[in-house]
Amino acid sequence: MAKDKKKKPQRPKAQNPRGFRDYFGAEVTERNAMLSRITEVYHAYGFDPLESPAVETVEALGKFLPDVDRPNEGVFAWQDDEDWVALRYDLTAPLARVYAQYRNELPTPYRRYSVGPVWRNEKPGPGRFRQFYQCDADTVGTPTVAADAEICGMLSDALEAVGIECGDYVVRVNNRKVLNGVMEVAGILDLSEPERFTTERGIVLRAIDKLDRLGPDGVRALLGKGRKDESGDYTDGANLSDEQTDIIMNFMDARRDDGAATCVRLRELVSASEIGMTGVLELETIAELSEAQGYGSDRILIDPSVVRGLGYYTGPVFEAELTFEILDEKGRPRQFGSVAGGGRYDDLVKRFTGQEVPATGISIGVDRLLAALREKSFKNNSEAGPVLVTVMDRDRMVDYQTIVAELRNAGLRAEVYLGNPKNFGNQLKYADTRNAPVAVIQGSDERDRGVVQIKDLALGKALAANIQSNEEWKAQPAQFEVARAELVDAIKKMIERANG
């Protein structure tokens, strides 16, 4: 009888979990540099940093996860002893818990910013991951919409701080109270029975949010019977009457050249709704305060078509949209779109305290904003790597480490090649993969003469891309010799020249 062959142990697959990705050198460096500029703006406005745990109790996270229909769906959760805990899905719900827990020690208002990854257990897709970074700033404990206006101005400053010029973005502002007023006038919101017409209101809000993509005709169809898209899929509509549909469409068409004119039109549309008129007054105040601080409608724009998906917004809502054009996967021009959103959420802390605590804030989608900067070429995607000190003689590692220490002490990023130095060509290949701007070369001959060779790798790449002849190549100073004592100054000058 044949013996059973021993089954070899299965090696784990070297692959990411679905919906997760790795971030490598240049991406991490660019992200950190961008976040440093943003948080400098937040700090200048008087906001303090806050770091809270990545894990919260499911109870503390609450039932406000966006884009899902059922409470606590879409989170990564597990049972820890008797309590259920979950990875945070945003940075706002943890802030509500922090403020409720430490409210007796924190100042009021409490102004904080927070940066970090969040997790959502949703279906991944192209450009849609289950882990991504957010950068938030919030003011907790002040009811005045001056706080909302300040958040919008700060967001504008942050976008310009990372290199997005005025004219390439706009911070659009609406108010949930105005939206509720329109719903009330249209007959699909009864404040005495808020649960009525919930389905219809959800369809209306989603339709308004799709105005840019579907256009007025597509939105009108969704407000009515429904709409069939290009693939043949049919989406049920809100089944509003023509009169109700006209009210919603007039609201979406209410934007004028400046905030004051837009608010005049909104007053006409929601004059029969008390909550709607309250919302218009708040928008007028935001427009007035923004103008007074120098933020015209080219930066901060009152726009009735803004709809934020999170259910906890109670007042002003904001969205930062990048307006420059990029090419989609089919080569068609389109605008980059939204990179940040936020608004007022006066009921979120109340879940813990039983008392209403006013709050407002903004969240920047870090990965989307970084992608936008690359698309716009505001930053060099091929960020310079470290200066590479090559190894010509294995037994002279002390000399090479001395050189690299001098470079680092002078504020330069540098490393010694620590692979197998036998093949010098492989060292230069390594320098290329590291995007090293300069290679330092010193063999025994150079050491005896008190010099080093400097290879300008950045110049070499530029010449290789535009070379016309061997003579032209030879005429360029892609490699030259300097005295050992002049090494640091020579490399500093090269890097400064390369950086423009």
The pLDDT tens digits of the residues spanning 219-238 come to 888 888 888 877 778 888 88
Stretch 57-62: mean pLDDT:
86
- CA 445/CA 61 separation, integer angstroms: 67
Is the pLDDT assigned to residue 406 strictly greater than 50?
A: yes
pLDDT at 378 over 70: no
Phi-psi region of 215 (alpha: psi -120 to 50; beta: other; left: phi over 0): left
Residue 213: the pLDDT is 80
**CA gyration radius for the chain?**
29
Residue in 351, 381, 416 with CA at minimum distance from that of residue 29: 381
- Range of lowest pLDDT (3-17, 362-376, 420-434): 3-17
Is 70 exceeded by the pLDDT of residue 2?
no
**Bigger pLDDT: 250 vs 383:** 250
pTM of the model as a whole: 0.80
- Do 291 and 259 touch, CB atoms closer than 8 A? yes
Q: In which band, very low, low, confident or very high, does the pLDDT at 390 lie, cut at 50, 70 and 90? A: very high
Q: Report the alpha-carbon distance of residue 165 to residue 323 in Å, rounded.
A: 11
387-498 has CATH 3.30.920.30 classification = no
Q: Mean pLDDT score of the chain, rounded to an integer?
A: 86
Cα dihedral sign, 197-198-200-205: positive
pLDDT 10s digits, 103-147: 999 999 999 999 999 999 888 877 788 999 999 999 999 999 999
What is the spatial distance between Cα 46 and Cα 151, in angstroms, rounded to a whole number? 12
pLDDT at 18 over 70: yes
* C-alpha angle 115-120-121 in degrees, rounded to nearest 5: 160
